[in-house]
Amino acid sequence: MRTGDTIAAVSTPLGRGGIGVVRVSGPEARAMVERVLRFPNGPPTWKPWSATLASLVDPEGHVVDQVVITYFAAPRSYTSEDVLEIACHGSPVVLRYALERLCQAGSRLAEPGEFTLRAYINGRIDLPQAEAIRDLIEATTLYQARIAAQQAEGSVSRRLKPVKEQLLELIALLEAGIDFAEDDISVAPAEEILRRLDPIVAAVAALAASFAYGKLVHEGFTLAIVGRPNVGKSSLFNRLLEQDRAIVTEIPGTTRDVVSETASLGGIPVKLLDTAGIRLGQDVVESLGIERSYQAMGDADLTLVVVDASQTLTQEDEALIRRARDDGKALVAANKSDLPRLAGVTDALPVSALTGMGIEGLRHAIMEAIAPHGQLEQEGGFITSLRHEQLLQESGEALAQARTATTVGIPHEMLLLDLYAALRPIDAITGATTADDILNRIFSTFCIGK
């Protein structure tokens, strides 16, 4: 991918709209825009961070559209290059023509993600910020967007920076002791190495462990709603979804297949599964639906077992609750609690899909079961990328080996191999560390050569 030329692309989604934007970035961006636009008073002076009215014209000078051109001067732009954005009317024909004219003027079509790549190469953003921009674009809930925005502002990088600094300081300490022993720099004792190493091990492990919650924020989770026929599963499904999606009747066994829909709980996407009522199947179709209910229970991150609070708890209810808890995380909701006589489940959450009683408490209980209170307060302080989690696990393994090597007295030359192995995955997240970085730390810390 060439990074020294000027690129152009349509930045707004496909389709028709009131406004469409064509973005141009590179050293010749202004000159190329001047070739395809006509300005009322001749070529502009290009004052940074300003907008100018212009006309998109064809080679014969005929006006195709009235546009607004906005200029972002290097280095205070998204890519740290000169960036111009042409705001046209949102017709696909007009946008495509503007792009064609820019390519005829000498720019080339941008590759996927190339504007953000240039921002990274030019030092405008780091890798976690670049990945967060993608997450922000793909966010489906406001909470996801807020977390992605915090990460785009550098929240992950800020949490990793002190860890990397401590690791580099330890590497520099050992390198200095080995390479500059003639300058009377003492080799660090094991106690000092462990004192420096233990906080690094703990910080990397904590950040890697935060992916358990970060994955939920990024990908969401699945909630299977199960129970006997006619206990109100579909009514509860509709209540959680806040729309009438599943068919509700008084006839037992109305739901014959798994009905799925996505909602938002606490800003996290939740795939709700309304399943067929579980009983001895009356026909082949219902039996197949019940099998799919069991499969949904096994595949879901959390199972919500619904019982009828107006009836005595049955053996089928008890068996279903045991099976759900054996499969993994499970909650029990006693529906129809607006009627007399509660079901005999001490830890059941009393709710009423009809009146809405207890629904907010149920939503809170679902979030507590899947993401205990406290994790929700870590906004931005957790990782949401599987790539980051795998790299941190790799770094943690190398740090554990380094700790073992220190306790058994392995030579520092071998210990450094483990420390560098721990540094490489962190570099893959934040950006590379060069040999000069290590040497600068050694010389600035120890004043070698006095």
Contact 201, 406 (CB under 8 A): no
CA 199 to the chain's CA centroid: 26
**How far is the C-alpha of 149 from the C-alpha of 133, rounded, in Å?**
7
60 burial (CB, 10 Å; 0-12 / 13-18 / 19+) is: exposed
The 8 Å CB, 24+ separation contacts for 12-16 are 12/90, 12/95, 14/92, 15/90, 15/92, 16/90, 16/91, 16/92
Tokens representing residue 31 in the block = 């000159």
Domain end residue (candidates: 337, 372, 407): 372
**Main-chain dihedrals φ then ψ at residue 182, nearest 5 degrees:** -70, -15
Q: List the one residue out of 360, 345, 258, 254 whose CA is nearest residue 307.
A: 345
Domain assignment present for 149: no
How many residues does the structure list for the chain? 450
Is 11 in the same domain as 116?
yes
Domain assignment present for 90: yes
pLDDT in 10s for each residue of the chain, 450 residues = 566 899 999 998 888 889 999 999 999 999 999 999 999 888 888 888 889 999 999 988 899 999 999 999 999 999 999 999 999 999 999 999 999 999 999 999 998 888 988 998 888 888 888 888 888 888 888 888 888 888 888 888 888 999 999 999 999 888 877 765 555 555 678 899 999 999 999 999 999 988 888 888 888 888 988 888 888 888 888 888 876 654 444 544 545 457 888 888 878 888 888 887 665 555 544 566 667 777 878 788 888 988 888 888 888 888 888 888 887 788 898 888 877 665 555 678 888 888 888 889 988 888 888 876 555 555 557 888 888 899 999 999 999 999 999 999 888 889 999 999 999 999 888 876 655 555 554 445 443 333
Is 388 in the same domain as 368?
no
Domain assignment present for 134: no
Domain end residue (candidates: 347, 372, 397): 372
Domain assignment present for 378: no
Tokens representing residue 60 in the block = 């014969």
Domain assignment present for 138: no
Q: What is the pLDDT of residue 68?
A: 95
Is 195 in the same domain as 245?
no
**Main-chain dihedrals φ then ψ at residue 108, nearest 5 degrees:** -125, 160
Q: Say what the pTM is.
A: 0.74
Which residue range is the domain that position 266 belongs to? 223-372
Is 227 in the same domain as 352?
yes
Q: What is the pLDDT of residue 327?
A: 75
Q: What is the pLDDT of residue 448?
A: 37
CATH number of the domain bearing residue 178: 1.20.120.430
Is 286 in the same domain as 350?
yes
Is 321 in the same domain as 440?
no
Q: How many distinct structural domains can be found in the chain?
A: 3
Domain end residue (candidates: 372, 396, 431): 372
Q: What is the pLDDT of residue 217?
A: 85
Is 366 in the same domain as 227?
yes
Instruction: Return the SS3 of 65.
Output: strand
Q: What is the pLDDT of residue 416?
A: 92
Contact 430, 128 (CB under 8 A): yes
Domain assignment present for 132: no
How many Cβ atoms are within 10 Å of 251's Cβ, its own excluded? 9
Is 317 in the same domain as 399?
no
Domain assignment present for 423: yes
CATH number of the domain bearing residue 69: 3.30.1360.120
Q: What is the pLDDT of residue 280?
A: 56
Is 418 in the same domain as 305?
no
Domain assignment present for 415: yes
Is 367 in the same domain as 228?
yes
Adjacency order of strands within the sheet including 63-72: 37-38, 50-57, 63-72, 83-90, 17-25, 7-10, 108-109
Is 276 in the same domain as 342?
yes
Is 205 in the same domain as 233?
no
CATH number of the domain bearing residue 305: 3.40.50.300
